[in-house]
Structure 1
């Protein structure tokens, strides 16, 4: 945990055995890769991880507080967005925890028994894996919520009640945490990587199908709505769908290299070219942290109500600050 190889051995803090081997072999394999392919490793200072993690943590806490404070945001969609913010916050918390321990260890300010570091590593593993699974699950949940809002507008409040939303949230979190623990327990099996990649691809297809149906048929559906208040509701629902499309796009861009990393572990774990790709795993971690940092900005930009509440929270913090 005292150096960057800790990131390699955990595959985003998840200790998959292929990368544990790569952590030891990368120094020799990557040297050949640099000679043959001009492989370049982008070194990222730990202070950058800590800074981005803290900013992301503060942003997501603000989003959660804003949704809790404003009663106009007490709806299933914003409950799901709040859970997505919690998922992003798990990335931030785990990143800050790990980076602080690494910095203290590097500067000789921390002398911890290896067994304790192993337990800490397992906790971080579960947090990160839970974040991956829950983020994908809540993106699907929000997409389904927008779909129901657009195509079953008159029945939405009877179909998506607060009670059902709470049940969905509890089920998602229980499934995410349980699957994450199982993934960590069986981390030496390549089936864990296959499950994660399959889940990632399945959720992308699910969202793509829903969004395609929404955007293709929403125009036809809107023609049948003549009343002004219903047209306004349709416009609001489509705005929510567009927001979630942006969120999904950012998620793919930020998490895509990590899942490509997992695929390459299965496809070419000993290839010199793939080892060259593996050497920049810390860059993929930065992208993941950036995802948790960008998401709150998307919420604020796309939702006037949430943006207004966030501004009030910032002003209150400023006024009562030192």
Structure 2
């Protein structure tokens, strides 16, 4: 693998004779203009500087979200613990993107001569980070959806069901499972079963979330009357707001990660088709969408949560005051 090639994001990139190798051709120029090859495919070129800029912005945003949740005791609840972990997942994407882009830029400008062995280790580490990110992101999106479901339909027993101890156990299990599965994906990256597992997990979590959301929004008005009878109307409103936030988060995740998973599906179904090869050539565009997901998520947290937004403003103002 050459340092000028963006081969991270999933262990599938390591496969020999993989269709993704087509997208590696002619990737040295940094122009955003679309180009057509002999097959009439349009290949959109993304400058490395754009990857670096978006990665740094996303990294700062997610760090601020994590610090805000740690700082504000009002945000010390299972839902915000899960949101904090989701921010960490997004941060993994940002960190891996920034690290690889810096290596690529240094190499392009002749400031660093990277040894192939070192590059291979870096690539494996980045792959583990990205795989961990996608698995943990999907897991925490499902966890938050389940948390909102319990809050709405089991409001009176919520604190006995979703205790802090159980939330911590869930977080530890998700991270251990995400890291372990990512390492297995790297070890068995030459097996198509890796792609099948990723795609299956993606669609399974989507179906799980869809079922929960459908049940929540169809029966919420019936359940709200029961909640009102116990004078808990404010909690019901807050819970539904949390459910709406998760709906937005899931929608953004599907839009940003969807092309990547479609990419994986096409690798399995039509690896040699000219049409699929045209799709493969724009892999860098799919990477930009994934980075945008980690950049957009913190904006959604801040917009949907007044408490979090207030804490973020305090952190930004304090940082600005210290810099002055």
TM-score range, shorter chain: over 0.9
Aligned partner of 1:269 in structure 2 is: 271
Residues 219 and 25 of structure 1: CA distance in aligned 2, closer, same or farther (over 3 Å)? closer
Contact 2:86 2:136 in 1 (8 A): yes
* Structure 1 stretches of 4+ moved >6 Å: none
| Distance in 2, Cα, partners of 1:211 & 1:262 | 27
Mind listing any 5+ residue stretches in structure 1 that lack a counterpart?
none
Contact kept in structure 1, 2:8 and 2:126, CA below 8 Å: no
Q: Take 2:15 and 2:202, find their aligned partners in 1: how far apart are those partners? A: 20
CA–CA distance in structure 2, aligned partners of residues 52 and 27 of structure 1: 24
Larger helix fraction of residues: 1
Question: Within the alignment, does 1:176 sit opposite 2:174 as a pair?
Answer: no
The equivalent of 1:151 in structure 2 is 153
Supply the RMSD in Å over aligned alpha carbons.
1.8
Say yes or no: does 1:251 pair with 2:253: yes
Q: Contact conserved, 2:23 with 2:283, CA < 8 A, in 1?
A: no
| TM alignment of 1:87-126, pairs within 5 A | 87-126=89-128
Any stretches of 5+ residues in structure 2 without a counterpart? 27-35
Cross-structure match for 2:59: 57
How big is the shift at 1:12? Answer: 4.4
1:234 equivalent among 236, 240, 258: 236
> Equivalents in 1 of 2:272, 2:89: separation in Å?
33
**Distance apart, 1:35 and its partner CA:** 3.9
Task: Find 2:15's aligned residue among 7, 14, 17.
Answer: 17
**Cα distance in structure 2, aligned partners of 1:64 and 1:26:** 35
- Distance in 2 of aligned mates of 1:291 and 1:26: 24
CA contact (8 A) 2:152 2:240 kept: yes
The CA distance in 1 between the partners of 2:51 and 2:185, in whole Å, is: 25
The equivalent residue for 1:47 is 49
Kindly indicate whether residue 189 of structure 2 is the aligned counterpart of residue 191 of structure 1. no
Cα distance in 2 for partners of 1:104, 1:186 equals 31
**Secondary structure in 2 matching 1:316:** helix
Corresponding pairs, count: 315
- 1:17 to partner: Cα distance: 1.5
Change beyond 3 A, Cα 1:25–1:204: closer
Match of 2:322 in 1: 320
Counterpart contact for 2:3–2:119, Cα < 8 Å = no
Deviations 1:200-235 (A, max 9, x none): 000000000000000000011112233584011100
Cα distance change, pair 76–55 in 1 and its aligned pair in 2 (3 A): same
Q: Residue 319 of structure 1: CA displacement?
A: 0.6
Q: Is the 8 A contact 1:13 1:128 kept in 2?
A: no
Cα 1:22–1:150, aligned 2, differ >3 Å: closer, same or farther?
closer
* Deviations 1:65-97 (CA, angstroms, capped at 9, x unpaired): 000000000000000000000000000000000
Q: Cα offset for 1:23? A: 1.3
Counterparts of 1:87 and 1:238, CA distance in 2: 24
> In the superposition, relative to structure 1, how do residues 220 and 227 fare at CA in structure 2: closer, same or farther (>3 Å)?
closer
Any idea what the Cα deviations from partners look like across 1:4-60, whole Å, max 9, x if unmatched?
5x32x44546534167454158759xxxx8444x31100000000000000000000
How far the C-alpha of 1:279 sits from its partner, in A, is: 0.4
Q: 1:129 aligns with which of 104, 110, 131?
A: 131
Residue 306 of structure 1: which of 305, 308, 313 is its match? 308
